[in-house]
Chain A
Amino acid sequence: MSTPGSLLSFNINDGYIEGILRGFRLGLLSNVDYSNLTQCDALDDMKIHLATTGYGDFLENEPSPLHTTTIAEKCTLKMVEEFNYLRANVVNPLAQFLDYIRYGYMIDNVVLLITGTLHERDPEELKEKCHPLGLFDSMRTISAEATVDGLYNNVLIDTPLGPYIQSCLSKEDLNEMNIEIIRNTLFKAYLEDFYAFCMKLGGTTAEVMHDILMFEADRRAINITLNSFGTDLTRDDRAKLYPALGILHPEGIEKLKKCDDADQVKAAIDFYPKYRDLFNDTQFNEDKTLEDSFFEHEVDMHKHSFYRQGGYGAFYSYFKLKEQEIRNIVWIAECIMQDQKSKMNQYIPLFPN
């Protein structure tokens, strides 16, 4: 049987859905839309502008003094609707691929639920704070468990993240480890697994996702290194969080393991021109942090995946781009609300000229 991602057979199962996806992509906000939004004086004006875009009347029923959190929620719900529509209309392996996209959000939700349960917060409240794309059936049972042991034995293994938890966390780890370390360990396992899956799919999918996932791994490695300075995180613990893939793997990672401050990190990645340029970008602009450069580069990569056909990479990219768009909208809304219009242009336009 021909591999998915092969141009010959792609359209049989996935052609229609890819068409739908490209339709969604056309609904992403354009530069004109962004410039209209930045000229708004109030959130209600934003609502009017958004109604002319692909978002439509999604804010119609909200009570009049609009709040940025409402806008964020509703935009996310729209994205979830689109995702669910796609997911309902696909078969494996695209179905599995789309599920992999959800695992990332599930990890965040599971971490939230674990900490909330351990601190005895109300389960209903916790449920509301979860990301909608990361919902799964056994969430209710997580909240019902009171102890860490119970959580580990009964519940976490049953969730879709079970295999990741089993492979890298033990019961004692759940108890003692800082929740952020748990989150990052899970994410490392997830990334490696996702990468393996994409490579198995082969074809255009493997090519496109290879670049994207490598960048994601490198970005996490650099961020973890930079953010761990001045905290309790030891070098060894930090070394366990670096994913085993990426351009930096393994030599750059070795160098990063030994770094103790930002200058050493800069020296370590100096050999990799792409990242060196990203670092240098931040030196000329005060407001722009390294993360902003990473976001820009990521957006660029995701746009490129749409130029390829016959692969699943575009699905992953679409949702990442949609996320960035939501972040942009919320940022503009916050700037309007807090009267900080000068900083409004720090959002990352998806289609710069």
Chain B
Amino acid sequence: NSCPKMSENRLAIFPTRMALQGLKQKYAAASKGHDLLKKKADALTMRFRQILKKIKDKKEDMGKYMKAASFSLASAKYTAGDNLNHMVIETVDQPTFKLKMGTDNVVGVMLPVFEPLVESTQQKDLAGLSKGGQRINKTREVYMKALEALVELASLQTTFVTLDEVIKITNRRVNAIEHVVKPRLANTIKYILSELDEMEREEFFRLKKVQNKKKRDLEIMKANIQAEVAARAAKNGGVAPKSIAVEAPSNMLSQSDDQDLLF
């Protein structure tokens, strides 16, 4: 398999124990981060589903409100005359229905929310004074209701879109941690451990080798002494000397005073 998987990458790092500690910490942090992000994604997704349901309901309501509103308008036109539209449009000047934008905080996400601000114009508007006034007022109310439902729907839809974005981002991060960062860290840790193991093995081997050499040296020396003893015994008529003064190698650590060196 010539193409390397993402998870087989590892960090280019010098395999020391300190590095290992650092990496282990990073791995723990990554795991914790992964858990937290997953919780956030779950909470957002739940909220998302709730909003979806609300939107569906609101849209159905909208349909009903708008239908009632158009019918109410037709009924008002019937009584007040066909030029009702023109009269109202020509006399309008100030907006009475305004929107206030606020923000709502959900799991750390700022969602925009629209609120209606209604200024009552009942006082100033005398449309249909001599005919149709009652129906016009009713139409006004029905359209107000439809407008308020519209505003709510707008809030819900902007929330929907924003949430969608945020959920995508969060999920991307969760997946990245799960499939890229953590495996990479894990591989690096594995690599360092394996390197450290190997270094230990090398050390052990080296030590073993030195010990063996020392052992062999000792054997050779023993063999030499045996040979000396045998030779002396042969010279003295077969009597083994009791001891041989073997010069012990000098021990730096012994207490004896060294001979002074005189230059």
Contacts and interface: CB of A to CB of B under 8 A. Distances in A.
Contacts of A292: 79
A166 interface: no
Interface stretch (A23-31, A86-94, A112-120, A153-161): A112-120
A129 interface: yes
A72 B82 CA distance: 8
B165 interface: no
B256 interface: no
B223 to A, nearest CB: 119
Contact of B67 (A108, A224, A338, A346): A338
Interface stretch (B15-23, B124-132, B214-222): B124-132
A227 B132 CA distance: 9
Contacts of B131: 220, 223, 291
A226 B78 CA distance: 18
Contacts of A76: 82
B38 to A, nearest CB: 49
Interface in B127-169: 127-135
Nearest to B81: A108
Query: What is the size category of the interface that chain A forms with chain B?
Result: 35 or more
A352 interface: no
A230 B134 CA distance: 12
A223 B79 CA distance: 12
A181 B82 CA distance: 19
Contacts of B127: 180
Interface in B67-123: 67, 70-71, 74-75, 77-79, 81-83, 86-87, 90-91, 93, 122-123
Given A224-B129, A227-B129, A338-B67, A115 B79 contact: no
A292 B130 CA distance: 14
A106 to B, nearest CB: 13
A6 to B, nearest CB: 35
Residue among A68, A231, A335 with most chain B CB within 10 A:
A231
A129 B83 contact: yes
A291 to B, nearest CB: 5
B123 A232 contact: yes
Contacts of A240: none
Contacts of B90: 112, 115-116, 119, 121, 126
Given A129-B86, A334-B74, A224 B130 contact: yes
B122 A112 contact: no
A220 B71 contact: no
A343 interface: yes
A112 B71 contact: no
Given A112-B90, A129-B86, A338-B71, A291 B126 contact: no
Given A116-B90, A330-B82, A338-B71, A220 B123 contact: no
Contacts of A112: 83, 86-87, 90
A331 B74 contact: yes
A226 B126 contact: no
A121 B70 CA distance: 26
A289 B135 contact: yes
Given A227-B133, A330-B77, 14 more contacts: A119-B93, A121-B90, A131-B83, A178-B124, A183-B130, A228-B129, A231-B122, A291-B131, A292-B79, A330-B82, A331-B74, A335-B74, A338-B67, A340-B67
29 contacts: A111-B87, A115-B90, A119-B91, A121-B90, A129-B83, A178-B124, A183-B130, A223-B130, A224-B130, A226-B134, A228-B129, A231-B122, A231-B123, A231-B124, A232-B126, A233-B126, A233-B129, A241-B129, A289-B79, A289-B135, A291-B132, A292-B79, A330-B77, A331-B74, A335-B74, A338-B70, A339-B67, A340-B71, A346-B75
Interface of B: 67, 70-71, 74-75, 77-79, 81-83, 86-87, 90-91, 93, 122-135
Interface of A: 68, 72, 76, 108, 111-112, 115-116, 119, 121, 126, 129, 131, 178-181, 183-184, 187, 220, 223-224, 226-228, 230-233, 241, 289-292, 295, 327, 330-331, 334-335, 338-340, 343, 346
